[in-house]
């Protein structure tokens, strides 16, 4: 005969209660689905029109934007006439594109220029005829005139003539963790691709006349690393580790040296600046003035206490600081802009000099700042036109 002791009677119910507790704490599927609605990628979809990105049409007073949603629309705004309407006839464009591709294209999904069926397409709005263009190899950055493309191979930068197919090697000294035209990859990209050796689009910024390009070389050899674990990878049972550049406070950060290349002469000009510190993934971004003679970009110090709007002579690489914003505490990098107007004759710049974020106008001829739209009572950053 089997006898159950009082101790066993006490332990067994306790064990049952102990095991049941974690099950109650896990939550239901509905709880997780409700929480997922507030993730960054989904939260923006809950507010109509909150993520509009305007694209100005050359030197005109008009811009267009793509209205987000299931049935996306392309909207044209005329700021002088204060009018709003469709940018083009999407139904007609979809009809002509369907003829060209021999596939049914929905009007609400059409675009003006895009890649489809392994080809690049341009649809002329006056006739809505769709023209097929040759699609360059993936991850290559094509020049505005369509004659050149830049790409990275084995840590170095190359230039391809899209008419002849000939390739010129622009750099020869690239190496792992000290490579050209390659942004620092994010952990999301590594996990999505399933490898630490991801292939990225060449980080090249072409001049409007396609005569030059600006890029950079990032040195991350001694920068701090971080490791992320993917606990449930799709291709194996064991967790998978991904190590990437992500310096913590006090550690060495990667730096980028900006470089200009002349396409015809294959000549290299380093921009005359101290190496640019890279704090997270990605790399520096550069823009050109329309005359293709000058480059401008934003510089932010570590800790975001200072930012500078810089201009560079594309022939010599000589740099000057046009606008400098400085604070004792912190300048919000997400609300920090400097935009050139009329080829840089005027700079629209955000400033927190009095504790409130204003848009100020800097006239380049006299170096004066315009008046902000409102004033606050808080002490903040100081602004210095250079």
User: Which CATH number do you get for residue 314?
Assistant: 2.120.10.30
Is residue 101 in some structural domain? no
Is residue 344 in some structural domain? yes
- Give yes or no: residues 310 and 264 share one domain: no
- Give yes or no: residues 170 and 277 share one domain: yes
Is residue 165 in some structural domain? yes
What are the pLDDT digits (tens) for 264-316?
Answer: 999 999 999 999 999 888 999 999 999 999 999 999 888 888 889 999 999 99
- Give yes or no: residues 247 and 225 share one domain: yes
Q: What does the H/E/C string look like for the chain?
A: CCCCCHHHHHHHHHHHHHHHHHHHHCCCHHHHHHHHCCCHHHHHHHCCCCCCCCEECCCCCEEEEEECCCCCEEEEEECCCCEEEECCCHHHHHHHHHHHHCCCCCHHHCCCEEEECCEEEEEECCCCEEEEECCCCCCCEECCCCCEEEEEECCEEEEEECCCCCEEECCCCCECCEEECCCECCHHHHHHHCCCCCCCCCCCEECCCCCEEEEEEEECCCCCEEEEEECCCCCCCCCEEEEEECCCCCCCCCEEEEEEEECCCCEEEECCCCCEECCCCECCCCEECCCCCEEEEEEECCCCCEEEEEEEECCCCCEEEEEEEECCCCCCHHHCCEEEECCCCEEEEEECCCCCCEEEEEECCCCEECCCCCCCCCCCCEEEEC
- Give yes or no: residues 278 and 353 share one domain: no
**Closest alpha carbon to 225 in 257, 199, 253:** 253
What's the domain count of the chain? Answer: 2
Worst-scoring range by mean pLDDT, 77-86, 96-105, 147-156, 240-249?
Answer: 96-105
Beta-bridge partner residues of 76: 64, 85
Beta-bridge partner residues of 150: 141, 159
Compare 170 and 327 and report the one with higher pLDDT. Answer: 170
- Give yes or no: residues 188 and 147 share one domain: yes
- Give yes or no: residues 175 and 290 share one domain: no
| Angstrom distances, CA of residue 257 to CA of 99, 155, 260, 289 | 48, 15, 10, 21
- Give yes or no: residues 292 and 167 share one domain: no
Q: Per-residue pLDDT for 20 more than 60? A: no
- Give yes or no: residues 319 and 359 share one domain: yes
pLDDT of residue 6: 45
**Domain housing 200:** 143-284
What are the pLDDT digits (tens) for 120-140?
Answer: 676 766 666 776 665 556 689
- Give yes or no: residues 278 and 324 share one domain: no
CA dist., res. 349 & res. 337, Å (int):
6
pLDDT of residue 2: 47
- Give yes or no: residues 150 and 250 share one domain: yes
Is residue 279 in some structural domain? yes
What are the pLDDT digits (tens) for 191-233?
Answer: 988 999 888 989 999 999 999 999 999 999 999 999 999 999 9
**Phi and psi dihedrals of 259, rounded to 5?**
-140, 140
Domain boundary among 284, 313, 330: 284
Is residue 110 in some structural domain? no
- Give yes or no: residues 223 and 291 share one domain: no
pLDDT of residue 324: 87
Please tell me the total number of residues recorded for the chain in this structure: 386
pLDDT of residue 380: 41
Supply the pTM of this predicted model: 0.65
Pairing of strands 129-133, 119-124: antiparallel
Is residue 174 in some structural domain? yes
By the 10 Å C-beta count (0-12 exposed, 13-18 middle, 19+ buried), 98 is classed as middle
Tokens at 88, concatenated:
């083009």
Is residue 201 in some structural domain? yes
**Phi and psi dihedrals of 145, rounded to 5?**
-85, -5
- Give yes or no: residues 205 and 279 share one domain: yes
**Phi and psi dihedrals of 148, rounded to 5?**
-130, 155
**Closest alpha carbon to 196 in 222, 230, 219:** 230
What are the pLDDT digits (tens) for 80-91?
Answer: 999 998 877 767
Is residue 305 in some structural domain? yes
Domain boundary among 269, 284, 299: 284
CA dist., res. 208 & res. 300, Å (int):
26
Domain boundary among 284, 312, 332: 284
């Amino acid at each position: 005969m089997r006898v159950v002791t009082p101790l066993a009677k006490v332990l067994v119910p306790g064990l049952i209660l102990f095991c049941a507790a974690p099950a109650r704490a896990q939550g239901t599927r509905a709880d997780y689905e409700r929480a997922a609605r507030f993730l960054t990628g989904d939260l923006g979809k809950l507010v109509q029109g909150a993520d509009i990105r305007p694209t100005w049409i050359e030197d005109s007073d008009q811009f267009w934007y793509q209205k987000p949603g299931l049935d996306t629309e392309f909207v044209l705004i005329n700021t002088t006439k204060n009018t709003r309407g469709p940018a083009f006839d999407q139904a007609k464009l979809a009809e002509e594109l369907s003829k060209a591709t021999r596939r049914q294209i929905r009007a609400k999904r059409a675009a003006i220029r895009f890649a489809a069926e392994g080809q690049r397409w341009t649809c002329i709005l006056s006739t809505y005829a769709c023209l097929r263009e040759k699609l360059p190899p993936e991850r290559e950055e094509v020049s505005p005139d369509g004659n050149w493309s830049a790409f990275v191979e084995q840590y170095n930068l190359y230039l391809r003539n899209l008419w002849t197919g000939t390739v010129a090697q622009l750099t020869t000294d690239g190496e792992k963790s000290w490579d050209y035209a390659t942004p620092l990859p994010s952990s999301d990209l590594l996990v999505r691709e399933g490898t630490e050796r991801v292939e990225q689009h060449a980080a090249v910024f072409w001049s409007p006349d396609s005569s030059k390009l600006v890029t950079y070389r990032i040195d991350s050899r001694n920068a701090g690393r971080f490791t992320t674990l993917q606990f449930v990878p799709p291709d194996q049972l064991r967790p998978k580790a991904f190590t990437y550049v992500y310096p913590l406070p006090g550690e060495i950060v990667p730096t980028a040296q900006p470089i200009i290349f002349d396409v015809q002469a294959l000549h290299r000009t380093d921009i005359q600046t101290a190496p640019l510190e890279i704090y997270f993934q990605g790399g520096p971004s550069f823009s050109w003035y329309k005359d293709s003679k000058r480059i401008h970009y934003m510089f932010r110090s570590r800790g975001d206490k200072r930012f500078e709007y810089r201009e560079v002579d594309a022939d010599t690489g000589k740099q000057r600081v046009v606008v400098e914003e400085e604070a004792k505490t912190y300048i919000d990098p997400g609300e920090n802009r400097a935009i050139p107007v009329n080829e840089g004759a005027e700079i629209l710049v955000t400033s927190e000099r009095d504790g409130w974020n204003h848009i100020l106008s800097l006239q380049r001829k006299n170096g004066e700042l315009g008046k902000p739209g409102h004033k606050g009572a808080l002490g903040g950053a100081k602004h210095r036109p250079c």
